[in-house]
């Protein structure tokens, strides 16, 4: 008697979302099963990885993370080009950390001008990520949305505090919103409802469930993502049937262990390999929980994940 | 709809369509059917025609079928004798009016290409801007979506003087509304009045001088129609979708200033289709009952000084207050400050003086929004270290306001006032206690500012239920006594009402799923007689929270058919639980501990469980740290029953629920309770005693054992036996 | 379906004699129902009842232990597919593969590194606990000697790997007291290996290609009376490995397939030549149900992240991890450095200490025991109340270590500042930012 593995019957499907425009546009979503459970459903579109580019020269980065970008670290446009030309990035994520009012506090105009330059220099889909200060992000993302009208950016984080303002420009200037909530399935759903009510079309919403780094609360986001997928696929929770995005690179690389040198942590092995593995493992886990888009830093961890994706999605 | 309005509107529509036809014939003869026609720089053709009919008009030949459509929409002129239901035909006449006017304006662009400036501002002497192009639409439309501009006032004609014009414009601007102006009143136009008064007009100041004639109304309506298409994803030709989008989202209204002509009536009728009411300064017939518009359709004869406020009310526009204008800092960081004796400038209430605060609801016309009145001495009129009697009377009005929400708003006073730096607030109702520090007074803080805070925060946080807020603060003994007397009456009535409310009298219960963040399948069903297990949410809170935040964690549940009145099961609640527990649980009893009890989250105030030997139930509260007769401490129990699981024999309960008539009805109610910690018993003493009376066991309170009687079943059983506790002779609890 | 506490209680003697270690039968029943006690602790249940309860409360996946003493590894006992549904019970054992054909020096070096791989985190010691000793020489004597050499050097959960029963028999003679896992019975050697396992009273791994073959073998072994089995389904690629793990767990849980109700053993190194990728495959297997993961290499840089992975995934979602209550020194604080206080929820601790560290402002971080609750929850539950916070601050001795008297409390708890000032009259209470991310900015402008 051959074993029949009991199958889950999936009644839902993740919406397909087009990222970017033109030849290099990508589509994510479309799943009809839990991540990589190809024996009982489909995952027709591969999860995608965006490479990080920072709007100001990195401070305090682990040498291994900085090394690949050392020559372009103070030029975001060159940085973005290098990601594409040298490392084959299929997407770019511009991290606007310098707009933080508690930091450099660069103006919305500067941020928009820079974003525009980067947007013009690359043809792959472009994610623009604010500084996580709802008020400032509103100002910055509004300006960017206007100045990059029609470029189909992914802009975020859009939160309950600023969804109206950012949602409105996203509608008006045709961008995709990254709906960001703090590790909570109900809040995620609520924000999606609110965005829908505002008029943001379903084809332009991504869920950011909030991602913690390996060893730093990863499990919370992991379980919320699993629950979101479960609700979307088996409980017909239509407002959760959106692809998920995880901005994980910066979380991983800011942890102590990703940065420590061999001298500081002799028991933790090769610092370069350790950092890469910490990032790649974080990525692998959120993929297993349902991520569709990853924002990552190190070319090697990205290569490792691409390799795993190919294996897991092999025909 | 009033017959006068209908006949006038239909007459006006006929005139306008006639005019359009005549104009059309002229240009057609001149340029032929292939000549391009339209508004500049837009992908929406003639937007109303495109949005409503789905017809893209790009050359003169395309106009013909539209005019035919106008004709077919036009109802016959109303005769003196026949009385028909006029609403529908009049609205259709209004629609035809807009199509015809768009054609007239499009022809104007053809004949006089430079008639309008075609940009955001006036150029030189030409103040007429004409249709907004797509760039303006996008930029400005975003403001309509995100709420920075909630809507617009479409003004036809002009008020009597340029001063009034400037005043009205300013008031509308203050409400963040766009002012779209067109048409003349006896040769006077509001746009021109504003220029004369030195007011800057143009899109950037939101005072938009669309055009000199009434036909320019279509620029306003076209703007709204395009907004629905570009921001609402409404397809061209989906007229229903378009009109509904505008009704629900664009807070616009028409404001005819001056005598209303037939043509104006026709335009007004058109606007009503979009859900935009008409507020007039002349005595035209009113159409008050609601239908197409959210509230009234036509309100007339409104004095100029009140017209903006009235318009805002009729359209249901929410006031937004972005800044709290007080001289001290304001924010959660100051919530817990204490004002010490040495820093004290003024003290009110707290047993030292009389003190009371009260929030009541009133009718819309009884409240003047933003009105803050100080009756009696304020801080600058008293000495350092004073004490004063204090009363704060907050009057709230709103279309969605209900008396039931009064206590909820009132409870907010505490933390809202505490957020102010240098102010300390404790308690509520007639036991409130207020301290103002010296530093705050030095910075210029006055008691009056309490009103400013309440006004702003009520709007900000409870905008869904508060349309208008006014605050009166009294520090005169006699006045305070008056408010106190009123408050006592209100409190009594409130308490009675809550008391009278039962699970049978209400058809709707509320859910709470706030705790799902850590207990994934947990659902609290909150009924009038059963509060959420944390004790923080009662039925009224659930109701208000839903009104304020309709997509939040508190959702209404229509209880539906009762499946079992003793267990407390209803069809509606079971369906809800199935969905909200994400299909983990099919059913739950509201009143049982043994049969399908509710899930427990982890933040319950108390846990109830069975004591088999005593055939009863024990309850332990979170604060009691000792051992209990079930052999487990609170923390052990909490560890076993939380996490959104159902654990028969164990139930999370709020303190309030213990004294409810529905408490564990299925197990026999309060009579089953054989043990509680003494501290919990004391806390609930009054309520438990009166429940005992009700149950016909006046000594019930005394025969419930507590930790002074014992903390094992064996220890308390003799006590219960001696006292003759009813549980011992009840049916077996297992 | 497992029995509820009440149902179990009904079957107990109801005498509240307390011999089981808890005061009442009800409390004991609850412990049984939540898997925190063994039925054998009550001496008064009849055999009949015992069988009934055992049957109903036995987890669908067998719980078994490999090794003895300190490094014993408990596996199995899983009851859910997703950790949020309850929790994952026993984290996978990470094993280092060593072969009897390796040079002694290599083995020694690997072993000494292995011993070194020990990390403290949230009061727990994280370390790999197992060694997989593989026979590749074909020589029973050599293998036995190798096993002996290893177990003399180190105390770890041992996996003996050989396809040859006669080789295995020799090795078992040396270490059966250590309760090693015997790897593995194949369809050809099931009987012989089964007998060895039975005699030695050791757990036995089953190796079959694909689940059907595995089931045939486990079925046979169960027939022989063996209970402690471990499954290796020999997947050919990563995709299949995932499918097998899900298939095994789901069959056991949902369909109650007894032949698959065992923990699994996996070899990510068989699926790739790259050590980095091996670690990545292992990371996925940790999340997706593997019982033992055998690695071909163990270095700090791959083991540490994998241990974190396992710690994260196996954290009980309903019982937050807590760190120790004490004063933490960050960046070498001095007597004029800021003093901050927060809860002992591990995530709070990690995030706050991380931000303080990245601010490069040395600081004293007071961590108060809140039973692992986050700041707001702890406050709501009375575990971060002014009086208890004050007590902790006093007994922490921080007053002797700093000159100033300024205490920064979490922004969300601004509400308690007044009360706390009353409890700690010598101290000035400062309200810190609400979000940890704003700590660096806050600390940079802080002055004593
Ligand atoms: S316990 Fe309170 S907060 Fe939690 S779900 Fe119930 S009512 Fe809501
Ligand atoms: S030992 Fe048995 S009889 Fe005694 S209390 Fe425990 S469960 Fe009850």
ipTM: 0.96
Provide the mean pLDDT of chain C: 92
Say whether both C125 and C104 belong to one domain.
yes
Could you tell me the two tokens for A275?
């950092």
Domain boundaries, chain A: 17-314
Q: Give the range among A35-44, B274-283, B331-340 with minimum mean pLDDT.
A: B331-340
Three-state secondary structure call for residue B239: helix
- Indicate the pLDDT class of residue B80, thresholds 50, 70 and 90: low
Residue B95, CB-side half-sphere exposure with 13 Å CA sphere: 25
Closest by CA to B638, choosing from C34, C19, C87, C10, is: C34
Task: Please write the tens of the pLDDT for every residue from B112-142.
Answer: 999 999 889 999 889 999 999 999 999 999 9
User: With 60 as the cut, is the pLDDT of residue B1 above it?
Assistant: no
What's the confidence (pLDDT) of residue B290? 57
* Percent of chain B surpassing pLDDT 70: 98
- C157: in domain: yes
Task: Please write the tens of the pLDDT for every residue from C101-122.
Answer: 999 999 999 999 999 999 988 7
How confident is the model over A121-125, as a mean pLDDT? Answer: 97
Backbone region of residue B397 per phi and psi (left: phi > 0; alpha: psi in -120 to 50; beta: other values) = beta
Closest by CA to B555, choosing from B508, B597, B589, B593, is: B508
- Indicate the pLDDT class of residue B357, thresholds 50, 70 and 90: very high
Task: Please write the tens of the pLDDT for every residue from C329-388.
Answer: 998 999 999 999 999 988 889 889 888 988 889 999 999 998 888 888 788 667 888 888
CATH of the domain at C359: 3.40.50.11600
What's the confidence (pLDDT) of residue A1? 55
Task: Please write the tens of the pLDDT for every residue from B168-203.
Answer: 999 999 888 999 999 999 999 999 999 999 999 999
Q: Which of C36, C57, C78 is a domain's end point?
A: C57
- C14: in domain: yes
Say whether both C122 and C39 belong to one domain.
no
Say whether both C308 and C332 belong to one domain.
no
- C290: in domain: yes
Atom of ligand 1 nearest to the CA of B516: 5
What's the confidence (pLDDT) of residue B5? 83
Could you tell me the two tokens for C357?
């560290």
What's the confidence (pLDDT) of residue C1? 42
Closest-CA residue in chain C for B419? C415
How confident is the model over C77-96, as a mean pLDDT? Answer: 94
**Chain A residues touching C281 at Cβ < 8 A:** 308
Atom of ligand 1 nearest to the CA of B535: 2
Closest by CA to C266, choosing from C135, C129, C93, C143, is: C93
What's the confidence (pLDDT) of residue B84? 54
Task: Please write the tens of the pLDDT for every residue from A3-55.
Answer: 888 999 899 999 999 999 999 999 999 999 999 999 999 999 999 999 999 99
Thinking of the domain B508-729, which architecture would CATH place it in? Answer: 3-Layer(aba) Sandwich (3.40)
Closest-CA residue in chain C for B582? C85
What's the confidence (pLDDT) of residue A282? 98
How confident is the model over A192-208, as a mean pLDDT? Answer: 94
- Residue A195 distance to chain B (closest CA, Å): 11
A-C CB pairs within 8 A amount to: 157
Nearest-ligand number for the alpha carbon of C17: 2
Chain B neighbours among A 257-276 (CB < 8 Å)? none
Please give the model's pTM, rounded to 2 decimal places. Answer: 0.85
CATH T-level assignment (fold) for domain A17-314: TIM Barrel (3.20.20)
Provide the mean pLDDT of chain B: 91
Q: Whose CA is nearest to atom 7 of ligand 2?
A: C25
Q: What b-and-e string marks burial along B219-239, b requiring 16 or more CB atoms within 10 Å of the CB?
A: bbbbbbbbbbbbbbbbebebb
Number of domains in chain C: 3
Whether A168 and B583 lie within 8 Å, measured CB to CB:
no
Could you tell me the two tokens for B127?
């103040």
Closest by CA to A207, choosing from A238, A228, A236, is: A228
d(CA B285, CA C16): 84
Say whether both C118 and C191 belong to one domain.
yes
Residue C439, CB-side half-sphere exposure with 13 Å CA sphere: 26
Say whether both C277 and C373 belong to one domain.
no
Domain boundaries, chain B: 3-315, 333-485, 508-729
User: With 60 as the cut, is the pLDDT of residue C81 above it?
Assistant: yes
Say whether both C106 and C228 belong to one domain.
yes
How confident is the model over A48-70, as a mean pLDDT? Answer: 95
How confident is the model over B44-56, as a mean pLDDT? Answer: 96
Our answer on whether the CB atom of B606 is closer than 6 Å to any ligand 1 atom is no
Q: Whose CA is nearest to atom 2 of ligand 1?
A: B534
C26, C377, C381 ranked by CB distance to B631: nearest: C26
- Indicate the pLDDT class of residue C256, thresholds 50, 70 and 90: confident
Closest by CA to B101, choosing from B178, B179, B210, is: B210
Beta strand pairing status for B468-474 and B390-397?
A: antiparallel
CB contact, 8 Å: B712 with chain C? yes
What's the confidence (pLDDT) of residue C381? 67
Q: Domain range for residue C357?
A: 326-444
Say whether both C172 and C194 belong to one domain.
yes
Could you tell me the two tokens for C86?
């309850």
Could you tell me the two tokens for C322?
């807590």
What's the confidence (pLDDT) of residue B261? 94
d(CA A137, CA A100): 9
- C321: in domain: no
Three-state secondary structure call for residue A211: coil
Task: Please write the tens of the pLDDT for every residue from C282-307.
Answer: 999 999 999 999 999 999 999 999 99
Whether C315 and A219 lie within 8 Å, measured CB to CB:
yes
B334, B337, B643 ranked by CB distance to C318: nearest: B643
Answer whether CATH 3.30.1650.10 is correct for domain B333-485: yes
- C119: in domain: yes
Nearest-ligand number for the alpha carbon of B581: 1
Which residue reads 């007397």 in tokens?
A: B485
Atom of ligand 2 nearest to the CA of C16: 5
- Indicate the pLDDT class of residue B65, thresholds 50, 70 and 90: very high
Three-state secondary structure call for residue C75: strand
Q: Which of C41, C57, C73 is a domain's end point?
A: C57
Q: Where are the beta strands (DSSP E) in chain A?
A: 17-19, 26-28, 48-54, 92-95, 126-129, 154-158, 176-180, 205-208, 244-247, 291-296
Beta carbons within 8 Å of B600's beta carbon, 6+ residues apart: B519, B522, B533, B607, B641, B642, B643, B644, B645, B646, B647, B650, B651, B652
Ligand 1 center from residue C243 Cα (angstroms): 39
Instruction: With both helix axes pointing from N to C terminus, report the angle between A218-234 and A271-289 in degrees, rounded to the nearest 10.
Output: 30
How confident is the model over B217-238, as a mean pLDDT? Answer: 94
Nearest-ligand number for the alpha carbon of C11: 2
- Residue A315 distance to chain C (closest CA, Å): 10
CATH number of B3-315: 3.40.50.2030
């Amino acid at each position: 008697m051959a074993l029949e593995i009991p199958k889950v019957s999936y009644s839902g499907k993740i919406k397909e979302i087009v990222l970017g425009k033109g030849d290099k546009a990508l589509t994510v979503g479309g799943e009809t099963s839990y991540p990589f459970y190809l024996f009982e459903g489909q995952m027709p579109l591969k999860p995608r990885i965006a490479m990080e580019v920072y709007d100001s020269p990195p401070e305090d980065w682990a040498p291994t993370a900085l090394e690949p970008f050392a020559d372009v670290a103070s030029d975001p446009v060159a940085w973005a080009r290098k990601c594409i030309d040298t490392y084959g990035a299929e997407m770019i994520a511009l991290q606007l950390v310098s707009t933080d009012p508690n930091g450099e506090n660069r103006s919305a105009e500067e941020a928009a001008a820079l974003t525009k330059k980067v947007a013009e220099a690359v043809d792959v889909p472009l994610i623009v990520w604010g500084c996580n200060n709802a008020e400032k992000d509103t100002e910055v993302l509004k300006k960017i949305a206007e100045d990059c009208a029609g470029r189909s950016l992914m802009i975020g984080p859009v939160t309950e505090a600023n969804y109206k303002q950012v949602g409105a420009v996203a509608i008006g200037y045709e961008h995709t919103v990254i709906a960001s909530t703090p590790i909570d399935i109900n809040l995620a759903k609520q924000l999606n409802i609110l965005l829908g009510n505002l008029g943001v079309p379903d084809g332009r919403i991504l869920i950011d469930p909030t991602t913690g780094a390996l060893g730093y609360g990863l499990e919370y986001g992991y379980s919320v993502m699993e629950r979101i997928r479960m609700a979307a696929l088996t409980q017909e929770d239509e407002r959760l049937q959106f692809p998920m995005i995880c901005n994980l690179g910066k979380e991983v690389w800011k942890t102590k262990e990703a940065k420590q040198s061999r001298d500081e942590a002799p028991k933790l092995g090769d610092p370069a390999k350790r950092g890469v593995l910490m990032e790649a493992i974080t990525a692998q886990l959120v993929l297993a929980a349902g991520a569709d888009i990853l924002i990552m830093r190190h070319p090697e961890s990205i290569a490792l994940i691409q390799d795993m994706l190919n294996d897991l999605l092999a025909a | 709809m009033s017959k006068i309005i209908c006949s006038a509107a239909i007459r006006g529509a006929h005139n306008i369509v006639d005019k359009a036809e005549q104009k059309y014939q002229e240009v057609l003869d001149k340029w032929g059917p292939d000549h391009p026609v339209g508004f500049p720089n837009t992908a929406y053709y003639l937007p109303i025609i495109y949005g409503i009919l789905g017809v893209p008009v790009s050359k003169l030949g395309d106009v013909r079928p539209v005019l035919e459509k106008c004709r077919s929409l036009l109802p016959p002129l109303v005769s003196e004798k026949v009385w028909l239901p006029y609403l529908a035909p009049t609205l259709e006449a209004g629609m035809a009016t807009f199509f015809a006017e768009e054609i007239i304006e499009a022809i104007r662009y053809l004949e006089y290409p430079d008639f309008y400036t075609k940009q955001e501002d006036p150029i030189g002497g030409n103040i007429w801007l004409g249709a907004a192009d797509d760039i303006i639409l996008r930029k400005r439309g975003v403001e309509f979506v995100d709420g920075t501009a909630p809507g617009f006032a479409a003004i036809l004609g002009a008020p009597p003087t340029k001063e009034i014009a400037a005043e009205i414009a300013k008031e509308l601007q203050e409400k963040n509304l766009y002012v779209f102006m067109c048409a003349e009143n006896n040769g006077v136009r509001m746009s021109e009045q504003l220029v004369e008064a030195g007011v800057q007009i143009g899109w950037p100041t939101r005072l938009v001088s669309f055009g000199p004639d009434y036909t320019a109304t279509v620029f306003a309506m076209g703007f709204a129609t395009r907004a629905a298409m570009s921001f609402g994803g409404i397809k061209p030709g989906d007229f229903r979708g378009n009109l509904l989008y505008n009704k629900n989202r664009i807070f616009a209204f028409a404001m005819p200033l001056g005598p209303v002509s037939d043509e104006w009536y026709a335009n007004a009728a058109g606007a009503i289709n979009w859900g935009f009411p008409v507020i007039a300064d002349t005595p035209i017939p009113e159409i008050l009952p609601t239908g197409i518009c959210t509230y009234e359709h036509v309100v007339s004869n409104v004095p100029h000084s009140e017209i903006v406020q009235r318009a805002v009310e009729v359209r249901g526009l929410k006031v937004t207050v972005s800044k709290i204008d007080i001289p001290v800092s304001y924010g959660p960081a100051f919530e817990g400050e204490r004002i010490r004796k040495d820093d004290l400038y003024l003290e009110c209430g707290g047993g030292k003086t009389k003190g009371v605060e009260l929030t009541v609801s009133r009718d819309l016309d009884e409240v003047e929004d933003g009105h803050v009145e100080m009756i009696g001495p304020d801080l600058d009129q008293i000495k350092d270290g004073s004490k004063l009697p204090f009363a704060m009377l907050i009057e709230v009005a709103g279309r969605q306001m209900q008396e039931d929400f009064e206590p909820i708003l009132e409870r907010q006073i505490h933390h809202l006032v505490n957020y102010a730096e240098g102010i300390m607030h404790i308690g509520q109702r007639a036991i409130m206690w207020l301290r103002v520090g010296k530093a705050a007074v030095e910075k210029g803080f006055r008691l009056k500012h309490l009103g400013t805070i309440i006004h702003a925060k009520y709007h900000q946080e409870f905008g869904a239920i508060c349309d208008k807020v006014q605050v009166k603060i009294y520090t005169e003994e006699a006045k305070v006594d008056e408010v106190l007397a009123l408050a006592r009456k209100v409190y009594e009535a409130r308490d009675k009402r809550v008391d009278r409310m039962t699970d049978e009298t209400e058809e709707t219960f509320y859910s709470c799923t706030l705790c799902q963040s850590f207990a994934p399948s947990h659902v609290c069903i909150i009924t009038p007689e059963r509060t959420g297990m944390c004790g923080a949410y009662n039925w009224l809170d659930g109701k208000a929270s839903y009104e304020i935040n309709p997509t939040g964690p508190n959702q209404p549940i229509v209880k539906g058919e009762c499946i079992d009145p003793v267990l407390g099961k209803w069809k509606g609640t079971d369906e809800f639980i199935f969905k909200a527990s994400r299909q983990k649980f099919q059913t739950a009893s509201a009143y049982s501990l043994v049969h399908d009890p509710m899930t427990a989250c982890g933040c319950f105030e108390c846990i109830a469980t069975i004591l088999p030997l005593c055939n009863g139930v024990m309850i332990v509260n979170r604060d009691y740290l000792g051992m209990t007769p079930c052999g487990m401490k609170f923390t052990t129990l909490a560890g076993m029953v939380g996490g959104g699981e159902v654990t028969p024999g164990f139930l999370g309960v709020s303190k309030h629920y213990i004294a409810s008539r529905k408490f564990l009805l299925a197990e026999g109610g309060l009579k089953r309770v054989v043990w509680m910690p003494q501290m919990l018993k004391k806390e609930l003493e009054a309520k438990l005693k009166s429940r005992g009376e009700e149950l016909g066991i006046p000594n019930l309170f005394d025969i419930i054992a507590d930790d002074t009687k014992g903390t094992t079943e064996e220890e308390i059983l003799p006590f219960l036996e001696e006292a003759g506790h009813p549980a011992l002779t009840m049916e077996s609890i297992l | 379906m497992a029995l509820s506490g009440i149902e179990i209680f009904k079957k107990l003697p109801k005498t509240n004699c307390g011999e089981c270690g808890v005061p009442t039968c009800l409390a004991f029943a609850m412990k049984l129902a939540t898997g925190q006690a063994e039925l054998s602790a009550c001496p008064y249940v009849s055999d009949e009842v015992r069988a009934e309860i055992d049957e109903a409360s036995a987890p669908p996946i067998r719980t078994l232990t490999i090794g003895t003493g300190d490094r014993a590894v408990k596996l199995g006992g899983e009851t859910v597919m997703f950790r949020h549904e309850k929790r994952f019970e026993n984290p996978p054992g990470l094993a280092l593969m060593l072969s009897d054909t390796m040079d002694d020096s290599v083995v020694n070096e690997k072993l000494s590194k292995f011993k070194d791989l020990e990390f403290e985190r949230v009061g727990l010691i994280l370390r790999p606990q197992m060694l997989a000793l593989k026979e590749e020489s074909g020589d029973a004597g050599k293998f036995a000697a190798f096993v002996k050499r290893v177990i003399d050097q180190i105390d770890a959960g041992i996996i003996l790997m050989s396809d040859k029963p006669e080789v295995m028999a020799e090795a078992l003679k040396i270490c059966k007291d250590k309760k090693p896992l015997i790897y593995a019975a194949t369809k050809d050697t099931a009987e012989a290996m089964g007998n060895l396992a039975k005699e030695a009273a050791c757990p036995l791994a089953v190796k079959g290609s694909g689940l059907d073959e595995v089931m045939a073998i486990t079925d046979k072994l169960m027939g022989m009376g063996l209970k402690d089995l471990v499954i290796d389904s020999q997947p050919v690629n990563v995709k299949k490995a995932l499918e097998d793990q899900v298939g095994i767990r789901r069959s056991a849980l949902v369909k109650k397939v007894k032949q698959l109700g065992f923990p699994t053993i996996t070899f990510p190194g068989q699926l790739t030549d790259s050590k980095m990728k091996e670690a990545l495959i292992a990371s996925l297997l940790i999340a997706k149900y593997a019982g033992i993961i055998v690695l071909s290499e163990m270095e700090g840089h791959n083991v540490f992240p994998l241990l974190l992975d396992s710690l994260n995934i196996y954290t009980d979602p309903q019982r937050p991890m807590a760190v120790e209550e004490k004063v933490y020194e960050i960046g070498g604080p001095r007597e004029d450095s800021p003093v901050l206080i927060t809860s002992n929820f591990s995530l709070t601790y990690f995030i706050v200490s991380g931000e303080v560290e990245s601010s490069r402002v040395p600081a004293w971080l007071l961590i108060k025991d809140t039973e692992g609750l986050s700041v707001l929850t702890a406050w709501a539950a009375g575990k971060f109340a002014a009086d208890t916070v004050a007590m902790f601050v006093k007994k922490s001795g921080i007053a002797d270590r700093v000159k100033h008297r300024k205490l920064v409390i979490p922004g969300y708890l601004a509400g308690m500042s007044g009360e706390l000032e009353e409890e700690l009259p010598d101290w000035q209470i400062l309200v810190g930012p609400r979000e940890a991310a704003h700590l660096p900015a806050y600390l940079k402008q802080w002055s004593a």
